[in-house]
Amino acid sequence: MPTVQVALGDRSYPVLVESGLLTRTHELLGQHGLSNRRIAIISDQTVASHHAKILSESFPEERPSLHTVPAGEASKSLSHAETLCREMILNGHDRRSLVIALGGGVVGDLAGFVASIFYRGIPFVQIPTTIVSQVDSSVGGKTGVNVAEGKNLLGAFHQPKLVIVDPATLATLPAREFHEGFAEAIKHAAIRDAQMLTDLLAIDPEKREVPADLLARNIAIKARVVEADEYETRDIRALLNFGHTIGHGIEASLPYGEMLHGEAIALGIRAALLISEKHSGLTPESSRKILDLLAHFNLPLRLSESIPTSTVMEKLTRDKKFKSGKIRFVTLSEIGKAQVIETVTREDLEAAIHHLRS
C-alpha cells in the first residue's frame, strides 16, 4: 500500500493509504505497537453514523468507547474538549488509553487536542474521512480549538502515532464536503508540485473516487514540509498557509459552519494569486490555471458583499501568521514555487479582499 513516513525522530509515524483499511484498524494498531490499550473513539455524530460501527467491530474483544460531538466547526471549542475529557474519565480511561480521531479536520483537531491534555498527554491515531483531513490536517501534529476571536488560537503540537487513510470513507461525503477538500490539494500543487494540477483536473468532481497514490503524493508534500519545520519556526511550514491568511479571515467573519474551510481557502487562494502577481511576478496565465481548477471542483471564487472588508481585516490581523504585528504572506513566483514575504501591506490585503467581489 502507499505509505508515507513522517520522519521526526522519536515522534516519527507512518501514514498508510489504502481502501479498506478501516476494517483492519485493530490489526494495524498491533503492527505499530499500539495494542493493549483502552481505546476512545472521538467522532462527530454524522461520521459516527457511517463509520463508527465498522471501526469498533475491527476490535475482536473489548469494544472502544465512542464519544461524539455535533458535526461542524462550532464543536472545535474548549467546552466540547472539556466535555469529552470528562466523558473519558467517567468511562475509566487513563494515561494508558489511546484516542482515535475518526472524522474530518474538526474532529482531528479537537480529538488531538483532547489527547494532548488528557492526563497531561496520551497517544492518538488519526483516521481522516474527508479530503481536507486526508491530504492535510491529519498530518503534522497541529491540534486545537477555536475561540470567538479566531480559528485555532488555542492548541498544542501533538503528533499522532499513526495515520490511517481509507479512501473508501469518502463515498459517504455530501458533494459540498467532498469538493471543499480539494482546495487544500490545489494548495499543495500550487506551492510544490505543478504537475499535480493536471492530475487533479483528471478527477471527476461528481464521483467519490480519488486514487490512493494521489492522496499519498499530497501527504508526502505535507510530510516533507513538517519534517523541515515541525513547529513553524523557520518560515518553511508557513508555506502551507498559502491562501489561508485571507481565507481564515473570511471564515472567521461568518458564524462557524456557514462557509466550509475549503470554500474560504479557495477565496483566500484567489486573493493570494492577485498579491503574488503584484509582489512575486506570478503570471496571470498561471493564476488562471489555478482558478480554473478551483472552479472545476465547484469552489467559490466570489466573496459576498454582505461580508465587510473591515470585518475580514479585523479577523485576519489576529491570525497566528502575523509576527509582532508584521504581515508575513505566502506568495507564488510560479506554480510549484512559494515563498514567505514581508512586503505586503494592509492596503494590499484590503485591495485583494475587494477584488474577490468582482
296 catalytic per annotation: no
User: In Å, how far from its chain's centre is CA 324?
Assistant: 25
From 51, 261, 279, 315, active-site residue: 261
Dihedral angle, C-alpha 50, 54, 56, 57, nearest 10 ° = 150
278 catalytic per annotation: no
From 151, 161, 222, 279, active-site residue: 222
* 162 contacts 16 by C-beta, under 8 angstroms: yes
326 catalytic per annotation: no
* 211 contacts 226 by C-beta, under 8 angstroms: no
241 catalytic per annotation: yes
The closest of 283, 104, 270 to 187, measured between CA atoms, is 270
From 232, 251, 263, 270, active-site residue: 232
328 catalytic per annotation: no
From 158, 161, 188, 248, active-site residue: 248
The closest of 295, 268, 293, 6 to 151, measured between CA atoms, is 268
Return d(Cα 184, Cα 86) in angstroms, integer. 33
The residue with cell 474551510 is 261
Which of 71-106 are b and which e, b meaning 16 or more Cβ less than 10 Å from the residue's Cβ? bbbebbbeebbeebbebbeeeebeeebbbbbbbbbb
Instruction: Supply 49's cell numbers.
Output: 453514523
120 catalytic per annotation: yes
From 93, 179, 188, 237, active-site residue: 237
From 120, 285, 305, 347, active-site residue: 120
First-last CA distance in the chain: 45
Distances (CA, A) of 205 to 25, 181, 243, 288: 29, 11, 21, 19
184 catalytic per annotation: yes
Distances (CA, A) of 12 to 96, 140, 163: 20, 10, 11
237 catalytic per annotation: yes
From 241, 263, 270, 315, active-site residue: 241
User: In Å, how far from its chain's centre is CA 232?
Assistant: 16
279 catalytic per annotation: no
158 catalytic per annotation: no
- The set of catalytic residues is 120, 142, 184, 222, 232, 237, 241, 244, 248, 261
